[in-house]
Amino acid sequence: MIAEILDADLPLSQLGEGAYWCRDNATLYWVNIAGQTVHAYHLPDKVHSSWRLSKEVSFAFPRQDGRLLLGLSDGVYEYDPESGDEAPIALLDLPSGHRLNDGKLDLAGRLWVGTINTADEPSETAALYVLRDDQLVEVEGGYANANGKAWSPDGTVMYHADTSRGTVWAYDYDVETGTPSNKRVFVRHEDWNPDGLCIDPDGNLLVAVFGGARVETYSHRAEHLRDIELPVPNVTSCDLAGDGTLFVTTAFDGMSSEARARAPWSGAIFTCQYHQGQQV
């Protein structure tokens, strides 16, 4: 099955990322990292809102008071959409060419975030962090691109996409303390760029494959179950709503004019119906 455009009137994102479905307000959030923009789409009435930030923004999570928890290039911020105020929560002194990348909340609401080295030939100087109070605490270094994250439905297994190594790692995870352990390879392929991750109710892992024009699905035993195809190459992140709707972000970053002509919907938001570990 090929996923379809969510809404043809939505703007295309150079580097769409951070798909997050908020069931409390029936709104899909995502970001355009390169465009320094947060987007929100209220599904019941198809209303689109967006906010321009001062820096590249890699994720956005709504808070109950209407503010947003953001990942800007140099740290985690709280953003007030009404006033435009960006209040820093935890900042990082990152090397040149580095920025925050994918962020995700565990089942306890704890924020995990990676960084990325955006150099043409990146060294493994990026890292994986967890937010504890007002500090981003480094948990693992040695990454070029610490990317997507997800947790099993009971929260006891954490997954992490190591894009440059073509690997998704799995860890045992203590939800109470937010501590991962027993790191092991979950899935690894050659010439494979795993990006954003999400989990389905059956515990199957969905992997957005950058450059692969698809979302791949794996069982908790790492069995490749199926693919959801997209008509664009650069698939960046995904998230599931409770009714089985899958949302997928994409990007046209780095594509030539010829490549964009062949895949004109690159940068759009896609959707399909996904139930019981399969698309229907």
Question: What share of the chain in percent tops pLDDT 70?
Answer: 98
Provide the CATH topology of domain 4-279: Neuraminidase (2.120.10)
Alpha carbons within 13 A on the beta-carbon side of 202: 14
Q: Strands 205-209, 194-199: parallel, antiparallel or unpaired by DSSP?
A: antiparallel
Provide the pLDDT confidence category of residue 277 given band limits of 50, 70 and 90: very low
3-state DSSP percent of the chain in helix, strand and coil, to 5: 5, 55, 40
pLDDT score recorded for residue 274: 93
Determine phi and psi for 165, rounding to 5 degrees. Answer: -95, 5
Q: Strands 179-188, 75-79: parallel, antiparallel or unpaired by DSSP?
A: unpaired
pLDDT tens for 162-211 read 999 999 999 999 999 999 999 999 999 999 999 999 999 999 999 999 99
Count, residues in the chain: 280
pLDDT tens for 219-257 read 999 999 999 999 999 999 999 999 999 999 999 999 999
Residue 150 clears pLDDT 50, i.e. is over it? yes
Specify the residue for token string 């911020």.
Answer: 77
pLDDT tens for 15-41 read 999 999 999 999 999 999 999 999 999
CB neighbourhood size of 59 (10 A):
29
Residue 276 clears pLDDT 70, i.e. is over it? no
Provide the pLDDT confidence category of residue 279 given band limits of 50, 70 and 90: very low
Query: For the residues 104-108, what does the mean pLDDT come to?
Result: 98
Residue 165 CA: distances (Å) to CA of 77, 142, 162, 204:
29, 11, 6, 22
Contact 16, 250 (CB under 8 A): yes
pLDDT score recorded for residue 280: 38
